[in-house]
Every structure is written in C-alpha cells, then in structure tokens.
Chains A and B, each alone.
Chain A
C-alpha cells in the first residue's frame, strides 16, 4: 500500500471548519445557560453573546454555502448506500481486528458513506432547524408588534422545543465526532489533516499518473 502526502483540505475549508466548531461550541454553551441549566456569564450576557455568535454563524454559513457550490464541494455530501454495510461493519467489528478501511479517501471523495449521511443530515436538517428556530426566536415578536395577524406566532414553546432538540442532537454529534476522528490511520492523523491540510493518503497506482487539476487556494 503506497501512500502520498496530499493537500486535501484547502485554506477556506479549514477556516470554515474551525470557526464553525468554535461558534457551535460557544452557541451551545451560552444556549444552555439561557435554557437555565447553569449560570456562568449571567442571563443578559448569555443572551447577548448567543445573539452575536448566531449572527457570525449566519454570515459564515452564507460564505460556506457559496463555497460549496462554487467549488463543486457539495458533491462530496451526496448520500450513498454504496459500501454502507461494509462501513457499518467496520466500525462495529472490523476496527477491533485492525481491518483496513472499506473505503479509500481521495481528494474527490473525502467522506465514507456514514460520514456522507451524517453531514448531509446536519446540513439539510439539523442545522437549518436550529438556525430557522433561532431566527424565529429573535424575530417572532415583530409580526405581532406590527399587528400582522397571519404571521403571528402565539407561543414560543414550539420554537423553543425545536431549537432545543437541534441543540441536543448537535451535542451528541459533537461527542461522536470528537471520538471518531481518532479512527484514522493514526489517532491524530485526521486532526493533523484538518489543521495543516495535508494527509498521507493511499494512492491507486493508475490515479497517481494524473495530478488532480483542482488547485483551490
């Protein structure tokens, strides 16, 4: 098995990943303070920081969506059933027998089927639920204060429950994510890749002939 050092995560992707991580963690921390689970910043400050981080997150998402489409990276997240059973079997048993990864990571296909499904679910379902319910939280009073009856949201309860479900799911995701990044070639190879951008990847002999043309700076 021959490996080559490949530049797999370019600058913007890493910037996006880490800033999003910091923002989501900070949003969760301030969010659960607002929810009432503990007191740290103080309620008023927690709300203010949560709002600021939320707006930053929204701006980041806009840039990220543009990047996904402009670079074609969106294709990486299309879910597939191809190799799904093999991938599940790997995590449930194969990994304990030092079996090889059933899917090969390349620049054009960075995610295994389970990852594709998980991140797709985050992008299409959980994050939009959280963002939209968060926006409803910020702005729900305006329809009522301007007497627009048909846009009036009677109670915050539904918005709050949706926002909280998304929050719990994101935290569960975060825990699993932080654990599963240790399942690379070495415990830290995935982390290093997301910091430096470079990863030692298996190369297919034939593919090696042709350098990937996408040089995204």
Chain B
C-alpha cells in the first residue's frame, strides 16, 4: 500500500515539474512596456510655421510677434488671459476660510517674500511684457509673451529687471518661425530658477532637468523617453494640470503618477498594498537636489551688511552663495533626503495681513492638510524651506518688503539696505498696515517633491522606513508602523518572561542533576 502511494506521489511530482517547465504561457506586454511604447512616439507638429509669409519678416519687438500670433490664433489670448500664469492669481477655496483670490500677485513666501512693489524684477517670470510696480494692463492682449513658452529654438530670453520684456538682441524672425509645443527648456527657464537662482526653490526642479540623464529623472532622461513637462502636465486651452501647493489649495486638476501607472503597478502584492497610504513619490524619489544644490534655509535678518559701503557675497566650496548683502545668509544642500507629511490635496495658506497667533513658533506659510485617519491622505515627500524673515511685532503680521527699485532713495532694500524704508514702502504697496517696527521671525514653507524620479532599482528600500531608529518616517508618528513601532511595556514584559523561563528551567535542571 505504501509503495503504491509513494510511487503515485513521485509520479505526480514529476508530472508537475514537467508540465511547469515545458509549457509556455502567452505573456502579455506589461503595463510598463505599453507605457514606454506610447510615450516614445514623438509628437509630430501638424504645421510648419517657417512657411508662413506673415512670420518671415523683421520684427521690431517681441510685442509685434505677439500681435502677429493673434492674427491667426485669434482666440488663444482669451485663454491665456484667463489663466493664473497671466493673472498671477486664481480663485481657491481654502478650508476654514472660504473662497479667496490667491496667486503670485498677493501671496507671500519665505524666499523673496512678495511681488508687490517689486514687479519690475519679479516679472522676468511673468508670461507678459511691461509689468512694473505702477501697474500692468491685464486686459491688453499685446502684452502676452507667447514666445517664452512656445519658442523652440532655445534662444529666446527675457531680460532681467525689465518687467518681463524680452532681451533686445534676439533674432525674432528665427524664433517666430520656429514655434511649437513647450519643451522642458521653455518651462525650465522660469521654474528651474525660482527664488532667484538655479534650484533655489523647489529642490526637484533644477537646470539638471534641461537634459537629464537616468540618474536624475527616469521619465525626462534624454536616453529614455525624453518626456517633456507637458507630457504629464497635460494642458487644454492653456489650462495646465498639476498644482504647486505654494499657491494652490484645492484637491482638483492634479497630476498623479497613477494616471499612467495605475494604483497597483508592482509585481509584489505587498508593495501594491502600500499605495493606499503611501504616495508613489515617497518610495520613488529617495532624494532630491541630485545635481545642483538647493536652498534649505534663508536668514533675512543678516542681510544688509556692506563692505566699504558696497554689497558683497560669500560662497561655499561648491560655488553656492552663503551670504548676499541683498538677501542674507543661506544654507544649501544636495542629495537631500526629504521630510515626509500626510497630504490629501488641500492646503491652507498664510495670506498677507494674517495675524500670527503664536510668535514663538515658526509661521507655516502653507500647511499641507492630511493625517493617517483621513482616508484621502497619503504620505508624500516634502522639501521644507526654513527662513527667518521680517515681521511687524506690533501688528504681528509678516512684512512684505520692497526689494527692487531702479534707483536708490526709493526705499528698495536691494538699493538702500534699510529695513525700515523697505518695510514702509513694501507694506504701502501691499495695502497693509505698518507699525514702524521691524523684527524677525521663523517661517517654514512646504514644497512637495514630485520630480527627480529614480530608477526602480534605486527606490527606497523597506528597511529605510520600517526601522526602529532613524528611519525616514521617524518624525511621522501619528500611526502604528510595523518594524518601527512597538509597545515598550509589552517588549519588556515579553523578554522578561522569556528570561525568567530560561532561569526557571536552568534551576529545575540544576536540581535534577544534583539529585541524581
């Protein structure tokens, strides 16, 4: 009987092995292969602008080009003039506050703080021309700068401190005849230099992204799919998807990795279960500022020191400014491990004029809402920029200083180096009260990290979060994480029990040996 069963068992085993190895399964292309195929196909423009006689002429100024664009694209200017790239504000619903109009026009950050009074300098990154502190015609379509986004020659440039005007020495004929969909270069000339320098602001958007390699970002790597910004930030009629929560507050019109990759892209079921609570970016962006360093801290209170009456700067070994008379002292870092926060797509902002409740704690400029208990929240990686910036200790509001002016004597800090006048003029421009006293307070600003995605084999490993000490999530402890958390009481009782058990059997055994 046993021999028969044994034989049957061995035959069954052999059968399974044979069938398993010799049969082939039809293998469908994986999702990733499908995506690679889809996004490798280059966009072929449906028009060649160099063949149009209207564009094959001399242009006196960039505004003339805009006027020419509008003769054919005769409704696009309406779209642009409805966008927040143009208006520098947008209606947002902020929880606990209601509907507000917020944008670069009136928002405050902890970099250069605010644009009011400083427009001539800040407008270098406005999609328009001729903006200055005296005003700007938001209704004149000829002020639209089409070329900064649509130039494909990579030669177009806007001038510094010129209210957004183009550099005067451009070959506008060449540029006008080679326009098309925006490339990384178009978005990057502004968005990689936010905060006044390369990678100052975001940390994950630097000049390394113009032509990145795979180690910087897998999607945009030139050798991979060479994806452009607009590939993910899909745009219809100049409404660009994707939010930056420095200015946005609502959970809509967002870009998600899962839009292409779905919520369950891993082979491992265990990893797929994480996507309920952990955003893709958390594991797939292990570090940001992988090339150029980013600014981690900015202390305005040290600004204003002069050498021989002139502004000066100091640099670190990598060439980053550690001190500028016009701005203060900075701390830079690269290959930065992000901080982590719960986020459900909504944020609340410090708006100009808000009274600071507790001046002993840092003011959080944009609090990202979310928690473990909230079903819509996921853990995201964040760059937290910490600053010390001017505030009015009597009115207890942040000061929006006047920084830029063409001339001395107009109160601009970058010319006169006087916080008193800078605050007076700046608050006047912003329409805010000023007591006359200037002090400094700590602020924090949260910049979600979404770019500089690493190759899959470099993603965060399990033990980097599931670690008792010094894990990446050590600070985010409003929930139980296996491998990190445990009941200390139970641990002590448990190991004590085991220890006592061992002692007990040792004593018992000793007595048995003695009594033998």
Contact = CB atoms under 8 A, between A and B. Distances in A.
Contact of A164 (B461, B490, B501, B509): B490
Contact of A43 (B276, B373, B463): B463
13 contacts: A34-B482, A36-B483, A43-B461, A97-B515, A141-B276, A156-B479, A156-B481, A156-B482, A160-B487, A165-B490, A169-B497, A175-B501, A179-B508
B480 A160 contact: yes
A137 B462 CA distance: 17
Contacts, number: 88
B64 to A, nearest CB: 57
A103 to B, nearest CB: 19
A42 interface: yes
Chain A residues touching B, majority SS: helix
B490 A43 contact: no
A198 B386 CA distance: 75
Contact of B486 (A51, A145, A164): A164
Contacts of A217: 1
Contacts of A47: 270, 462
A90 to B, nearest CB: 12
Given A43-B483, A96-B515, 13 more contacts: A43-B461, A44-B462, A47-B270, A156-B479, A156-B481, A160-B482, A160-B485, A161-B490, A168-B490, A168-B498, A172-B501, A175-B505, A176-B504
B494 interface: yes
Contacts of A214: none
A175 B486 contact: no
A115 B242 CA distance: 66
Interface in A167-194: 167-169, 171-172, 175-176, 179
B487 A164 contact: yes
B511 interface: yes
A106 interface: no
B273 A176 contact: no
B502 interface: yes
Nearest to B493: A168
B466 interface: yes
Interface string B470-487: 000000000111111111
B462 A36 contact: no
A143 to B, nearest CB: 11
A171 B498 contact: yes
Interface in A91-145: 95-98, 137, 141, 144-145
A2 B3 CA distance: 36
B462 A43 contact: yes
Interface string B139-171: 000000000000000000000000000000000
Most chain B CB neighbours (cut-off 10 Å) among A34, A36, A144, A217: A36
A217 B497 CA distance: 40
Interface residues of A, number: 35
Nearest to B487: A161
B273 A141 contact: yes
B375 A157 contact: no
Given A144-B375, A168-B494, A176 B463 contact: no
A155 B480 contact: yes
A165 B494 contact: yes
Given A144-B375, A145-B276, A161-B487, A175 B479 contact: no
A213 B479 CA distance: 58
A95 B486 contact: no
A81 to B, nearest CB: 23
A43 B501 contact: no
A164 B498 CA distance: 13
Contacts of B493: 168
B512 interface: yes
A145 B278 CA distance: 13
B356 to A, nearest CB: 34
Contacts of B485: 157, 160
Contacts of B504: 176
B233 interface: no
B261 to A, nearest CB: 17
B468 interface: yes
B463 A42 contact: yes
B494 A39 contact: no
Contact of A36 (B273, B466, B490): B466
A175 B483 contact: no
B464 to A, nearest CB: 9
Nearest to B463: A43
A36 B486 contact: yes
B282 to A, nearest CB: 16
B505 A164 contact: no
A48 to B, nearest CB: 8
A146 B480 CA distance: 21
Contacts of A176: 501, 504-505
A63 to B, nearest CB: 16
B225 interface: no
Contact of A35 (B462, B486, B498, B502): B486
A48 B494 CA distance: 25
Q: Which of B479, B484, B501: most chain A Cβ within 10 A?
A: B501
A127 to B, nearest CB: 17
A42 B501 CA distance: 29
Nearest to B469: A36
The 6 closest A-B pairs by CB, nearest first: A168-B494, A157-B480, A43-B462, A179-B505, A96-B515, A43-B463
Contacts of A95: 512
Nearest to A171: B498
A145 to B, nearest CB: 5
Contacts of B468: 36
A157 B482 CA distance: 9
A160 B486 CA distance: 8
A43 B480 contact: no
B227 interface: no
A4 to B, nearest CB: 25
Interface in A14-45: 34-36, 39, 42-44
B467 interface: yes
A164 B273 CA distance: 22
Contacts of B501: 172, 175-176
Interface string B330-357: 0000000000000000000000000000
A21 B50 CA distance: 79
Contacts of A96: 511-512, 515
Given A96-B511, A141-B273, A176-B501, A155 B479 contact: yes
Nearest to A45: B462
Interface string B156-200: 000000000000000000000000000000000000000000000
Interface string B1-24: 100000000000000000000000
